[in-house]
Amino acid sequence: MGRDFPFDDCGRAFTCLPLVDPTAQVESLTCNLDALLYIMTHKLGRGCPPGVWVCSTDMILSVPTSPEVCWEGFRGARVFSLPASVTYARDHGVYLTDAQGLVRNIFYRGSEAQMQQCARPDGKVPLVSGVVFFSVEMAECLLATHVSPPLDACTYMGLDSGARPIQLSLFFDILLCMARDMNRESFLAGCHPEMGQGDTEQAGDRRSARAVLWKGLRDQPLSLTYVPDGTYEYMTSSASAHLRSLTLPRDLFAQIVHSQVEKPQFLEAGCSVVNSLLEGEVHLGPGSVIHHCHLQGPIHIGPGCLLLGIDRASSSALHGLPLHDLILQGHYIQLQATSVQVFTLIGRQDSWQSPALGKGTYLNVPWTEFFQRTGIRDGDLWDLDTRPAERCLLTARLFPVFFASRPPGPQDVLWLLGPPGGGSLQAWRAAWRMSWQQLQLHLDRAAALASRRALFFQQAQGKVRRVLGGRQDLSLLPLIRAATREGHQGPLLATLDQVAAEAEDLGVAARALACIADVLGCMAGGQGGLRSGPAANQEWALAFQYLERGDVAKGVEELARERTKWLGRPALLVRAARHYEGAEQILIRQAVMSACHFVTMEPVEPPPYGHWVVVECPSRVDFSGGWSDTPPITYEHGGAVVDLAVLVDGRRPIGAKARRIIEPELRLSTGTCSGEVFTELVCRSLEDLQDYCQPHAPGALLKAAFICAQIVQLSSPKSLQTQLHHGFGGGFELHTWSNLPHGSGLGTSSILAGAVLAALHRAAGRAVGTQALIHAVLHLEQMLTTGGGWQDQVGGLVPGIKIGRSRAQLPLKVEVEEISVPPGFIQTLNEHLLLVYTGKTRLARNLLQDVLRNWYARLPAVVDNAQALVKNAEECAQAFCQGSLPLLGRCLTRYWGQKKCMAPGCEPQAVRRMMDALKPYVYGQSLAGAGGGGFLYLLTKEPRQKEALERVLAQTEGLENYSIHLVEVDTQGFSLRVLATDTSS
């Protein structure tokens, strides 16, 4: 058979394995070559010096763990050996080594005594396994020999010079001369066992070649590394051995790999499906393998079968025909510059080269039985002058490649299984037929690879639908990278469009749009600017309007239409990706707004004109679980956050007050509780409120609150003044304040939103409970387009220590449970808890964009981290119940690591210096909120450490504008008062 491989037209190196690499950055089929490269790079070659690796691709290796290889002082060459039985190793070669691991000899088909000399205590012997490493010096020595006659005859340069070719063995010529037990005369007189003796002149050339090798390489040491837990399987021409190697359980092997199987219940244990589409009922028996096929059932494939390269149209020939111990393959061959698909059929037990007149079989039965069953004659398969010894399966002209009126199909070989009928024998005889040996000369490997690639991306469309529709936590980013690199982004985009348009779940549609943004980003190839940025170009406005109105299908259609204009260059692709993320945010907003189901209120008598409704709120400290409360994570995965309502320096730092006024207008003011004013606005028309969704616009939060509270209807044809006059008999004045710096991380904006809504609703004559406020703030922040989750308002509106939870479902509902702590523990906590203002601020929105992008991509690290956040929150709640400061400290430390995993880059260098300086004095510490700056909170080992830690930080270089603040748990929660007189606090 030479180097051809009868079970894959692309050869042993490109035979696909049923192997899944969960860490792959780009999704692809794993070929034997890929597996070997991985083993050499990440297991055998860890820490190796510069040099040259040589590896055969004729075997399947498995190396479960990385061997400890000492490379210190390494020189010469190193072979890697795996264990094998004496019987198996005899035909492959065995190493004999000394106590220092140097190779003494290499035996091929050695005697019993030689084999036992090599045996290990477990009875295994070190197999010649096809992997060699050459040091740089050794490689240079070897390279220097190729210009010396007669070794130049091993290269094309020598052949072009007219030299007769010489075949040398890597192991039994090149490496053998380095073995310690070899002497010059026996080496020169020998011949590597894979070669015949040939004529005398060729023997002389081989002796001369070995003499050059001996002179150049003899002084180089040859060492061995034995891999005791590895396995080696030579890829023979035996169908049984090949099927066994693809179905034996081993590390990372899976039953269904890069395939779509509609009814996996019809796959029995011990079978394998790779790069295939199985539609309908396709039964696959144990020990059977399907590679690169598109089959439409009903089809029954029994045990011991291999199907490869069968397309959907051809699979109809298998209906009603049970297969057992058969190898059916589709091949592409070149006939006069035309690629043609042909089919071959052999038996699992057939031998390729056994003579037909001897023990040879075809389709697992003797040739004589096959001739009697089909009516085929000896002369149909072989020429009369073909010697009996050469009349074998390899040379039998069995397989039709051309018919005058139609292309070949599987039925043209499947009829060989039974008696001829319907003219099948006559049609077969009339066809142009080839033997397996002849087919190998005409294989169109480029067409075979193209067919496999097309099938891979065809089944990938099914994976996209399955993962998105099934809300699976699998990352599609490796598949997206593969599609864009291979030019298959068009079908992928069409599939994502379809999923988004047809999804009944807004979360599924939003994730599909996020995947489209990833496709566009990958198409940009890392160019075109940052992915995070604005998404309000008017060209996309119509699509956004459809989505805002809830017409997702029409919105997706308009997005796709607009997208076609933005594919020309990287900058446009990135801008288009941003707008898809903007569209995704609209759907997230609508999903989160389902929380409105839980916003209930009761009508009450509104305060008189001029009476202030004053709301004051504590801040919050998140002790664990943050980010799991963030949409869409919170309703796709579920969330849990432990929060503390806290006073900062003895006071509630956040508040709002509202009152009704006679004038039909809105007077807005933001500032501090000491009376310092940052913003003052008067809104007299609806146009003055249009920028409510731009977070940086003056008074945006306050404007959005009026709309969220349904005091103002922006879409109403009535003017603002008319709405205020008819609805409330006048306007409103609204003031807000905060004593915390911008970007503090203490939940200021969300808690302030809760305070504003509480004050507005009460001023408008409505009573709203805490649970309703929590959900109303979710609604408000989505209107404001800042996103955000629910932990801040839970922390600041609900008193004391509590854990908030949300389930993985819509509508989004937050449930809060108070955490009971031992008596006196709150006072203990107050004495050990400190806030340190780091002097750094950071708005969480850019962090949020990055986190959401990674979540929608379902990066494994992010998914695992989301699970760890929830778990840590539950453990933190238990630590509070136990009143254990050390346990709480461990939860805090773990939590900070989880935040950094979720949002890399959220720890500025100055903050790291600060945390390192404080570490000896604390049980645990973390930046509040999303990180990046703001407040650091500490759980100190000793009580009342404010002054001591101020001295520590004063001696730490690189810190500035920091300050330490006292903090205590607020057990009362937010307060609401109605005051008849003006107040600024």
- How many C-beta neighbours within 10 Å does residue 440 have? 18
Question: From CA 85, how far away is CA 205, in angstroms rounded?
Answer: 35
Burial class of residue 341 (count of CB atoms within 10 Å of its CB; 0-12, 13-18, 19+): buried
Co-location of 81 and 225 in the same domain:
yes
750: three-class secondary structure by DSSP: helix
Co-location of 793 and 833 in the same domain:
no
- How many C-beta neighbours within 10 Å does residue 422 have? 9
Taking only the tens place, the pLDDT of each residue in 468-521 is 999 999 999 999 999 999 999 999 999 999 999 999 999 999 999 999 999 999
Q: What was the pLDDT predicted at 866?
A: 96
Q: What was the pLDDT predicted at 347?
A: 96
Residue 613 in any domain: the answer is yes
% of the chain surpassing 70 pLDDT? 97
Find the mean pLDDT for residues 448-460: 96
Half-sphere exposure of residue 162: CA atoms within 13 angstroms, side-chain side: 0
> First CA to last CA across the chain, in angstroms?
92
Domain end position, chosen among 234, 261, 289: 234
Indicate the pLDDT class of residue 580, thresholds 50, 70 and 90. very high
- Classify each residue of 256-265 as buried b or exposed e, where b means 16 or more C-beta atoms within 10 Å of its C-beta: bbbbbbeeee
Co-location of 174 and 306 in the same domain:
no
Residue 326 in any domain: the answer is yes
Co-location of 583 and 609 in the same domain:
no
Question: From CA 231, how far away is CA 239, in angstroms rounded?
Answer: 19
Q: What was the pLDDT predicted at 586?
A: 92
- Classify each residue of 280-313 as buried b or exposed e, where b means 16 or more C-beta atoms within 10 Å of its C-beta: eebbbbebbbbbbbbbbbebbbbbbbbbbbbbee
Co-location of 192 and 323 in the same domain:
no
Which position has the higher pLDDT, 190 or 913?
913
Say what the alpha-carbon torsion angle 298, 300, 305, 310 is, to the nearest 10 degrees: -10
| Location of structure tokens 């070149």 | 334
- Give me the domain span that covers residue 559: 471-593
Question: From CA 652, how far away is CA 620, in angstroms rounded?
Answer: 10
Sign, CA torsion 525/526/527/531? positive
Q: What was the pLDDT predicted at 191?
A: 66
Highest mean pLDDT among 191-205, 552-566, 847-861: 552-566
Residues 287, 247 contacting (CB under 8 angstroms): yes
Co-location of 247 and 105 in the same domain:
no
Question: From CA 228, how far away is CA 404, in angstroms rounded?
Answer: 58
Question: From CA 757, how far away is CA 704, in angstroms rounded?
Answer: 10
Half-sphere exposure of residue 585: CA atoms within 13 angstroms, side-chain side: 26
Find the mean pLDDT for residues 254-280: 95
99: three-class secondary structure by DSSP: coil
| Displacement of CA 265 from its chain's centroid (Å) | 26
Co-location of 177 and 275 in the same domain:
no
Q: What was the pLDDT predicted at 419?
A: 83
Find the mean pLDDT for residues 557-580: 96
Assess whether the previous peptide bond of 150 is cis (omega < 30° from 0).
Answer: yes
Co-location of 602 and 492 in the same domain:
no
Taking only the tens place, the pLDDT of each residue in 674-726 is 667 788 999 999 999 999 988 889 999 999 999 999 999 998 999 999 999 99
- Classify each residue of 99-138 as buried b or exposed e, where b means 16 or more C-beta atoms within 10 Å of its C-beta: eeeebbbbbbebeeebbeebeeeeebbbbbbbbbbbbeeb
Residue 119 in any domain: the answer is yes
Find the mean pLDDT for residues 72-93: 92
Q: What was the pLDDT predicted at 362?
A: 96
Residue 978 in any domain: the answer is no
Residue 460 in any domain: the answer is no
| Location of structure tokens 């393998």 | 289
Residues 519, 480 contacting (CB under 8 angstroms): yes
pLDDT of 197 higher than 50: no
Question: From CA 400, how far away is CA 670, in angstroms rounded?
Answer: 85
Long-range CB contacts (within 8 A, 24+) of 337-342: 339/444, 339/447, 340/401, 340/402, 340/407, 340/408, 341/309, 341/311, 341/314, 341/407, 341/408, 342/399, 342/400, 342/401, 342/408, 342/434, 342/439
Say what the alpha-carbon torsion angle 272, 278, 282, 288 is, to the nearest 10 degrees: -20
Domain end position, chosen among 443, 461, 480: 443
Co-location of 580 and 633 in the same domain:
no
| H/E element, 97 | strand 94-97
Arithmetic mean of pLDDT over the chain: 91
Q: Residue 578's closest CA among 634, 540, 630, 631? A: 540
Q: What was the pLDDT predicted at 984?
A: 46
CATH number at residue 831: 3.30.70.890
Question: From CA 626, how far away is CA 791, in angstroms rounded?
Answer: 7
Indicate the pLDDT class of residue 192, thresholds 50, 70 and 90. low
Q: What was the pLDDT predicted at 315?
A: 95
CATH number at residue 681: 3.30.230.10
% of the chain surpassing 90 pLDDT? 77
Find the mean pLDDT for residues 380-395: 94
Question: From CA 385, how far away is CA 581, in angstroms rounded?
Answer: 73
Residue 103 in any domain: the answer is yes
| 807 Cβ neighbours under 8 A, 6+ residues apart | 635, 638, 813
Kindly report which listed range (273-287, 438-452, 947-961) carries the lowest average pLDDT score. 947-961
Co-location of 381 and 254 in the same domain:
yes
Q: Which two tokens stand for residue 321?
A: 């025909």
Residues 81, 61 contacting (CB under 8 angstroms): no
SS (H, E, C) 252-320: CECCEECCEECCHHHECCCCEEECCEEECCEEECCCCEEECCEEECCEEECCCCEEECCCHHHHHHHCC
- How many C-beta neighbours within 10 Å does residue 653 have? 25
Q: What was the pLDDT predicted at 2?
A: 41
Co-location of 204 and 246 in the same domain:
no
856: three-class secondary structure by DSSP: helix
Residue 457 in any domain: the answer is no
Taking only the tens place, the pLDDT of each residue in 153-173 is 787 777 777 778 888 888 988
SS (H, E, C) 327-361: EEEEEEEEECCEEEEEEEEEECCCCCCCCCCCCCE
pLDDT of 35 higher than 60: yes
Residue 852 in any domain: the answer is yes
pLDDT of 843 higher than 70: no
How many structural domains is the chain composed of? 5
Q: What was the pLDDT predicted at 330?
A: 97
pLDDT of 926 higher than 70: yes
Domain end position, chosen among 234, 252, 276: 234
Co-location of 686 and 729 in the same domain:
yes
Q: Residue 802's closest CA among 873, 718, 697? A: 873
